[in-house]
Amino acid sequence: MFKNYSWDWGVFLQPVSTGEPTNYLGWLLAGLYNTVVLALSASLIAFAVGVVMGVLRTTPNRWLAALGTTYVGIFRNIPVIVQLFAWYFVLPELLPDNVGTWFKQLPASTQMMTSAVLCLGLYMGARVCELIRSGIETLPKGQRSAALALGLTLPQAYRYVLLPVAFRVAIPPLTSEMINVFKNSAVASTIGLLELSAQAQQLVDYTAHPYESFAVATAVYILINVIVVLIMRQVEVSVRLPGYIGGK
Amino acid sequence: MTAIDLLSDITNSLPALAAGMVTSLKITAIAVVFGIVWGAILAVMRLSSFKPFALFAQGYVMLLRSIPLIMVLLWFFLMVPQLIQNLFGVSPRTDIRLVSAMVAFSLFEAAYYSEIIRAGIQAVSRGQLSAANALGMPYLMAMRLIVLPQALRATVPALLTQGIVLFQDTSLVYVIGLADFFRSAKNIADRDGNTVEMILFAGSVYLVISLLASAGVQFLQRGGRYVKVG
């Protein structure tokens, strides 16, 4: 199917035609930088929100649990692109006038990055919440009772008894979510943030070499995947508990 | 803008929105059906003792699960017109976006479905396969008649849940400019200048549909009666 297609992998080293002092590879690297910044910032928010909501869903207080359930229900049942458009196009309009104006005067790339980080962070937070919750729920009920019977307060029981083990149980699924943050970050291209997949699309317009451009971007995503898996495996090994399967 | 204005805006745009929703549902339906069929084949290949099959299935699943869906959509939107031209010797006349999206989603979701089905197959007791073999069934026949029906039945809730995720993911066809439900809503917003309202409206529609579908899946699960498959 490529009989009329002239391959040229050297295209990445050509200077860009906009006159910027870089080549097309430089554009892809700039995109990769944005992808990494976006994914890492979003995963910090996702983890923080996910832990808080996951804990809330397992507390004995019905209202707090309902708050967590509602959060998950909303953020998991609206497509991420719709959420992103809501953060980027809708929220600034609904904010008080002076805040909205301030936001709209920020550089465009800052606006896009902020919206994308908040969107992905809170979207992924709902998924992390479910992992933390199931991590807590797989612990024997006696753990909580024993902690409380020893005189620990409920927050202390979470802090010293339940969460340390729940975190470790959740590491393998958290690894997949970490990969998902990077994959989902590509959605930010739809509001114009020049992350990796957006740069790949831009290269198609500028170089007319779509296959090379997509191939490199795809390879970079696979590479990110491998790196995340390797790092998380290291984390998993280093925090293993004695007495568990695969433990020290 | 008052609620009445918004309501009349939406009623006026109803045909376009409905057409968009039909497109979203079409992609979902096609991708669920072909995704499950191709996913089941991949799962059987993955568990086969014939190494090249197992390696192919493993590589396929790993590859598609490590690429963003948006990249997959862009790839297929690039390749499908070429393929049609080469296979049938005609330049594509019909709107190629829908076909590209259907192919991309089917092949992409198959990777996820195959993992669900594989877990289902592995949960079927080994004795079932041995008994089928003892009765003289060849491997593929035993898989098709004995193991897969049990595996699929056990995984129906997971397969349906994945279908809800898939329905939400179809909104990403935005990147290839296909007028699904979300893109239609955004087009109307751009035309009428009611972005805030249309995006919130689109979000609510997805929310209601997904929540209802999830409730349906839970109902099936609680009832303990699985949908008959095969």
In tens digits, chain A (248 residues) has pLDDT values of 666 788 888 888 888 888 788 888 999 999 999 999 999 999 999 999 999 999 999 999 999 999 999 999 999 999 999 999 999 999 999 999 899 899 989 999 999 999 999 999 999 999 999 999 999 999 998 999 999 999 999 999 999 999 999 999 899 899 999 999 999 999 999 999 999 999 999 998 888 889 999 999 999 999 999 999 999 999 988 888 877 655 54
Window 47-76 of A, Cβ < 8 Å to B:
73-74, 76
Contacts of B164 in chain A (CB under 8 A): 77
All residues of chain A having their beta carbon less than 8 Å from the beta carbon of residue B169 are 79
Report the alpha-carbon angle A20-A26-A32, nearest 5. Answer: 130
Note the pLDDT of residue B95: 72
Give dist(CA A102, CA A109) in Å, integer.
Answer: 14
CA-based nearest distance A126→chain B, Å: 14
Residue B116: the pLDDT is: 95
Distance between CA atoms of residues A152 and A30, nearest Å = 50
How close does chain B come to A76, measured CA to CA in Å? 9
* Residue from the list A79, A90, A225 with its beta carbon closest to the beta carbon of B182: A79
Structure confidence by residue, pLDDT tens digits, B48-60: 889 999 999 999 9
CB-based contact (8 Å) between B83 and chain A? yes
Residue A245 confidence (pLDDT): 57
Asked if B218 is an interface residue toward chain A (Cβ–Cβ < 8 A), one would say: no
Hey, what domains does chain A have and what are their CATH numbers? Answer: 12-238 (1.10.3720.10)
Looking at domain B3-223, what is its CATH homologous superfamily? MetI-like (1.10.3720.10)
Strand partners, A23: A15
DSSP per residue, A100-132: HHHHHHS-HHHHHHHHHHHHHHHHHHHHHHHHH
Q: Are A94 and B82 in contact (CB < 8 Å)?
A: no
Tens of pLDDT, residue by residue over B72-99, are 999 999 888 888 777 776 666 667 889 8
Residues of chain B neighbouring A189 (CB-CB closer than 8 A): 70, 175
Q: Which two tokens stand for residue A136?
A: 């807590």
How many cross-chain Cβ pairs, A to B, lie less than 8 Å apart? Answer: 97
| Pair of tokens at residue A10 | 């050297």
For A221, name the nearest residue in chain B, comparing CA atoms only.
B67
pLDDT at B230: 43
Report domain extents, chain B.
Answer: 3-223
Tell whether B215 is within 8 A of chain A (Cβ). no
DSSP designation for A86: I
Mean pLDDT computed over B169-190: 94
Model pLDDT, residue A5: 80
Quote the tokens at residue B228: 């008959």
* Residue B35 in tokens: 């995704």
**Nearest CA to A216 among B108, B174, B75?**
B75
**Which of A 154-183 lie inside 8 A of B, CB atoms?**
179, 182-183
Asked if residue A194 lies in contact with residue A31, where contact means CB atoms within 8 angstroms, the answer is: yes
The pLDDT, as a whole number, for residue A46 is 97
Inter-chain CB proximity B70 and A222 less than 8 Å? no
- Determine, for residues A197 and B171 on separate chains, whether the beta-carbon distance falls below 8 Å: no
- Of A194, A235, A219, A104, the closest CA to residue B63 belongs to A219
Half-sphere exposure of B27 (CA within 13 A, CB side): 32
Kindly report the three-state secondary structure assignment for every residue of chain B.
CCHHHHHHHHHHCHHHHHHHHHHHHHHHHHHHHHHHHHHHHHHHHHHCCCHHHHHHHHHHHHHHHCCCHHHHHHHHHHHHHHHHHHHHCCCCCCCHHHHHHHHHHHHHHHHHHHHHHHHHHHHCCHHHHHHHHHCCCCHHHHHHHHHHHHHHHHHHHHHHHHHHHHHHHHHHHHHHCCCCHHHHHHHHHHHHCCHHHHHHHHHHHHHHHHHHHHHHHHHHHHHCCCCCCC
CA distance B114 to B108: 10
> Which residue type, as a one-letter code, is found at position B221?
Q
Mean pLDDT of B120-149: 91
Q: Do A189 and B175 make contact, defined as CB atoms within 8 angstroms? A: yes
